[in-house]
Structure 1
Amino acid sequence: MTRKKRRLYFVGAGMLALFAGAALVLTAFQDNLVFFYSPSDLQAKQVSADQRFRLGGMVEEGTVEKQGDTVRFKVTDYAASTPVTFTGILPDLFREGQGVVAEGKIGSDGVFVASEVLAKHDENYMPPEVADALARQDPAWKEKLGRSVEGVEPAKATN
């Protein structure tokens, strides 16, 4: 075997190892990737029942029902609502009319089964994903809250 052919084999083996490593890394990322959806996004897209994702929006007024450790409520972006069920301890700041992000899976009955519920950490903060989803659905959503929201620019009208 000549030096040129041997070098070609080493380069080929190196490229093969590089592609195999990249495929393993991408597979690992895919398993840990969690998407964010608003209730309107859920209605527009088909999400499989075994896919974990985050659902964000506002806790709809008058929908919180507690039965022991299980809490049922609806998350809205003022255009659509999604029912949510959660079993566990809710954050102290969880209440109706406030921003929430829930992580879990959608059931076959269309109810989102949350494994974790995150509430905003102070009165003037909202996760950027939730604010963007609300602004897409209703540019006047901040007026419905009756307060300013830190870090969120006013919605700009598009022509």
Structure 2
Amino acid sequence: MSGAVKAKHQRLVLVIVALAALIGAGLLAAWALRSQASYFYLPNEMVSAPPAPDRAVRLGGMVEKGSLKTAADGVTITFVVSDDKSRVPVRFKGIVPDLFKEGSGVVAEGKRAADGTFVADNLLAKHDEKYVPREMKDMTASQARQMGEGVK
């Protein structure tokens, strides 16, 4: 009888150790990813409760019409991201996505500078559900379907 109780206790100890190891691994992963998390802000949130200047975040909104300007170096652009309530100036140096234009949605990844300008490292252009690639915009629906069938 005492041998069976001993095996039961061994299994219980093994389960407790495995559970503790699993919780420890989860906490370690969460702590490691904590600094890698990129929080998403809307312009109103960026203005009312700005993140720390050294914190990597994402800023999402609409590119304000008439705000897009290219610097003399040809690779730096400035524009304003806005929502219904606030506006945030953005500066980006690099290659702009094809879908990026005034009046469209954008997600900018980067950090807020001390002067309030958002310095983007990366731009992600958003499109609506009616998006059609340039190569397919002059095709009829049946031609597009045939092209899609040939891709398989």
- TM norm. shorter chain > 0.5: yes
Residue in structure 2 matched with residue 102 of structure 1 by the alignment: 108
**Alpha-carbon distance change, 8 to 59 in structure 1, aligned in 2, over 3 angstroms:** same
Answering whether residue 53 of structure 2 is matched by residue 49 of structure 1, we say yes
Structure 1 distance, partners of 2:76, 2:129, is 25
Structure 2 distance, partners of 1:98, 1:13, is 53
Structure 2 distance, partners of 1:19, 1:122, is 42
Residue in structure 1 matched with residue 44 of structure 2 by the alignment: 40
Unaligned runs of 5+ in 2: 132-152
**What displacement does 1:64 show?**
1.3
**What displacement does 1:30 show?**
2.2
Structure 2 distance, partners of 1:120, 1:46, is 23
Structure 2 distance, partners of 1:97, 1:89, is 19
Residue identity opposite 2:41 in structure 1: Y
Cα offsets for 1:99-145 (capped at 9, x unmatched): 111111111221111111111245746xxxxxxxxxxxxxxxxxxxx
Structure 1 distance, partners of 2:12, 2:46, is 51
Structure 1 distance, partners of 2:66, 2:14, is 67
**What aligned pairs does 1:10-29 form with structure 2 within 5 A after superposition?**
10-29=14-33
The percentage of aligned residue pairs carrying the same residue is: 44
Residue in structure 2 matched with residue 31 of structure 1 by the alignment: 35
Larger radius of gyration between Structure 1 and Structure 2: 2
Cα offsets for 1:23-56 (capped at 9, x unmatched): 1221233233222111101122241122222111
Scaled by the length of structure 1, what TM-score is found?
Answer: 0.66
Residue in structure 2 matched with residue 81 of structure 1 by the alignment: 87
Residue identity opposite 2:19 in structure 1: M
**What displacement does 1:15 show?**
3.3
Structure 2 distance, partners of 1:124, 1:103, is 25
2:121 to 109, 115, 126: 115
Give the secondary structure class of the aligned counterpart of 1:20: helix
Q: How large is the RMSD of aligned CA atoms in angstroms?
A: 2.3
Unaligned runs of 5+ in 1: 126-159
Scaled by the length of structure 2, what TM-score is found?
Answer: 0.69
Number of residues paired by the alignment?
124
2:105/2:127 contact within 8 Å kept: no
